[in-house]
Structure 1
Amino acid sequence: MWVDRQMAEGKREGNTGRLMRIGDLARKAGTTMRTIRYYEQLGLIAPATRTKGGFRLYEEDELRKLRLIKNLQLVDTPLAQVKAFFDQRRRGRVASDITPGITRLLQQQLCEVEKRIVQYRAVQDSLRETIEILRCCAECSLEPGPEVCPRCPVITSRAEIPLHMQAVIEAA
């Protein structure tokens, strides 16, 4: 539901734009009112004004910010990092003021992403090896378990038991 700004603020002159209530903003952004309030507490978004009854009213810019935040989170950008981006941007008026700080933030995030890639590759290797081992296990007639499986030649021929295979063995 769009609300005229003058009506919301009790003014009658001019037209400064339409505002939406928190529920409408949440629905359009695909999030919850609770999330929006939390983002307000973090300083990521802010209502343009409140009605006489205290209802928050938001401009279209806040919807764009919410969608941006959601997309950044989809690529594992922590809210603290999003806030740092927004804070850096607010600090400067020209690119030369904000570029060094934002570049530092992006370099830190790049390092974190590279670390996670290494971790994900290790998980990928473990999953592939476990699947390969389990294909051999499909032909085994022994009861699986921590006493039997670690002595199996399919497993002992490897330098170490993959993490996921360890879970399969322990769960048996």
Structure 2
Amino acid sequence: MTAKTSSTNTMHIGELAERTGLSLRTIRHYDDVGLLPATARTHGGFRVFSEDDFERLMVIKQMKPLGFSLEEMAEILALLASDNAENGALTGFLERAMQQRAKMARNLAQADEFIKRLSERP
């Protein structure tokens, strides 16, 4: 069920999946590996997530295409959540993210050129 619990502003995994565009399996995997532990569980054992969990999952979703490992994602999430985060570590991750994005942009441009080439064929 994807019903929202009105009193505590929490959601079940189905609603979280719908809002993020991620599969239930992916969200469960992130829970199992400790990246996105459920805020709570119902008496029946169902995972319950908060808005903070939603925001955390969106950060994970943003990191995924940049090639960060699960361990690196956990480290980045901890750094982002910490008031005493080491700026050097975040700077290193930022530089890597920017390099990966530039590579992805080059690949996308090549794909666009290929599509144009194919579409111009008689």
Is TM (by shorter chain) over 0.5? Answer: yes
Is the 2:66–2:101 Cα contact (8 Å) retained in structure 1? no
Q: What is the rounded CA distance, in whole Å, between the counterparts of 2:5 and 2:44 in structure 1?
A: 14
Q: Which runs of structure 1 show a deviation greater than 6 angstroms over 4 or more consecutive aligned residues?
A: none
Q: Any gaps of 5 or more consecutive residues in structure 2?
A: none
> TM-score by structure 2 length?
0.68
Q: What is the rounded CA distance, in whole Å, between the counterparts of 1:87 and 1:35 in structure 2?
A: 20
Give, in angstroms, the shift of residue 82 of structure 1: 3.7
Q: What is the rounded CA distance, in whole Å, between the counterparts of 1:56 and 1:107 in structure 2?
A: 35
Q: Any gaps of 5 or more consecutive residues in structure 1?
A: 6-16, 139-172
Check if 1:103 corresponds to 2:94: no
Cα offsets for 1:39-90 (capped at 9, x unmatched): 11333212111112111111111122223333444xx323525433203234
Structure of greater relative contact order (alpha carbons < 8 Å, 6+ residues apart): 2
CA RMSD of aligned residues (A): 3.3
Q: What is the rounded CA distance, in whole Å, between the counterparts of 2:93 and 2:16 in structure 1?
A: 29
| Percent identity (aligned) | 25
Distance 1:52 1:4, change over 3 A: farther
Check if 1:56 corresponds to 2:47: yes
1:36 matched to which residue of 2? 27
Task: Tell me which structure has the larger Cα radius of gyration.
Answer: 1
